[in-house]
Each structure stands twice: as C-alpha cells, then as structure tokens.
Structure 1
C-alpha cells in the first residue's frame, strides 16, 4: 500500500503518483529477486521524516528513506515491512547528485527494500541496488527521463 501524508506536495518530474510508484516498486522487487513480496510505502515531508527519525533511531533531522523490516523471510507472499520516503530530501538529493528524479527514487526504494529483506550496508547492498536501478531504467527507458 502507498500512502501520502496529507498536504505533501506533488513535485514535477518525480514519480510520486500511485500508478508510477506501484510500477517502479514492482520492477524493483522483481530485479531484487523479491517478486511476490509485499511492503507498505509512506511518503512524507522533511518534518515528518525528522520526527520519525528521532523517534525510531534517535537521530535529529530528516533522512531520505527509513526501513522497518517485519522480520519475515523474503519469500513469495511475505510482508517485508514498511518503507518511509521523504519527498523533500529525495528532491534535494536528486538535484545535488545530478540524477534524474526517477533514478534517485529507484535507488532509494531499492536500498530500502534490501534493508527490508535483511541486508546491511556494504558492497553487496550497493551492487544489488545498482543492478535493480539499471533494470528499472531499462524498463522505464531513456534513463528514467520519462515515465510512460
């Protein structure tokens, strides 16, 4: 399920509609070998993310994505957990890193999904994230510049 916090702005060029996000999430799950798994995604602003980051991790300020694994083994039909994505941080980082908005969205979602599947930061996570982003880019075409 995809939930947008009330009052969250729609940003031009970002795949933040339900249809676009659902398609992107589906592509990423398949690319990561998690086809058939489920998760919930919540889109928030920086203020919402900062409050959640402080409560969940004890860190001040917003972050880009938070993962809350369910503890279920990643298998078909499993509920992996919850992801929370800060739309404002996403927009800022995409601009800062010179990435297409959809590419950066895919990167953050893939990273979060891998945490839900039990992976920790490191070379394996980085490689799998990039593989998933490339697979999604191939499906979306034109390096994510347009979403059909």
Structure 2
C-alpha cells in the first residue's frame, strides 16, 4: 500500500503512486526481497516530526522511519515506512545529489531496517547496489 499525504507536492521527486510503485518494486528486487511487501507513506516534515517524537522521542524531522512488523502470520509483510519528501529533497540539494536517487537511497535504507539490518558497512553496500538497479 502506498499513501501520499495531501500536503506533499514535490515536482523534484518521483512521488506519484505509479512512480513510487515502480521504485518500490525495483528496490525490493535490488535488495533480494522480491515477493515481500510493505506499507509506504510519503509525508511532509510536520508529519514525520510527529512520528519521530511519538515513536522515537526525537525532536524534529528525519528522512525515513521504519516500523518492522515481524508477524509470523504474514511473513511476506515487512512493515511500514514513512519518508519525508521535504527532508529528502532538502538533503539531496545539500549533498548535491539527484533527488530521485536520494529518494531511492532512503527507501532502500528503510527497507533494510524492516528486513532487520542495522547501520553499518553491509547496509551501506546493499543500499548502494540496490539504488543502481532501482534508478536505471
């Protein structure tokens, strides 16, 4: 399921449902997780700030939040991801990166957290190789 908050309007990011569906499928395939599913919500900075405070106790916006499910009755459902379109666009500008590629990076990062990986060299390597597949 893909949801886009009504206040998200980013012409510099691929945030239509069809673009996100393609990016999500390519990202899952690039990470070796074809056949798995997740919920994806693209939100604004105020909405991700609210989630960040509520679930992690951290102030301010962040780029991506992952909420793993781990339900044995639904082994193919990884969980839910929230991505702030505003933060991703801002970071892409600050880092001098293509906004669509940075969105793919954040999506892959979130998916890997759902799959149980933590920050580190393996996550970085998997993310970078999956981005190449997802953004072709």
Question: What is the distance in 2 between the residues matched to 1:5 and 1:92?
Answer: 18
Aligned length: 135
How far the C-alpha of 1:72 sits from its partner, in A, is 4.5
1:136 aligns with 2:130: no
CA distance in 2, matches of 1:23, 1:98: 24
Residues 1:37 and 2:29 aligned together: no
1:107 aligns with 2:105: yes
CA deviations 1:29-51 (Å, max 9, x no partner) are: 00100001000001111111111
Counterpart Cα distance in 2 of 1:88 and 1:124: 27
Point out where structure 1 has 5 or more consecutive residues left out of the alignment: 140-148
When normalised by structure 1's length, the TM-score is: 0.87
| Partner of residue 3, structure 1 | 3
- Paired with 1:60 and 1:27, the residues of 2 have a C-alpha distance of 32
Q: Structure 2-normalised TM-score?
A: 0.94
Alignment of 1:5-24 (within 5 A): 5-9=5-9, 11-24=10-23
The runs of 5 or more residues in structure 2 that have no matched partner are none
State the shift of 1:6 in Å: 2.5
Cα distance in 2 between the residues matched to 1:72 and 1:35: 18
Poorly superposed stretches of 4+, deviation over 3 Å: none
Root mean square deviation, CA, Å: 1.4
Output the CA distance in 2 between the equivalents of 1:38 and 1:85.
Answer: 16
Q: 1:96 aligns with which of 79, 94, 97?
A: 94
- CA deviation string 1:52-101 (max 9, x = no partner): 1000000000100000001147x9x7000000000110110010111111
2:25 matched residue in structure 1? 26
SS at match of 1:39: strand
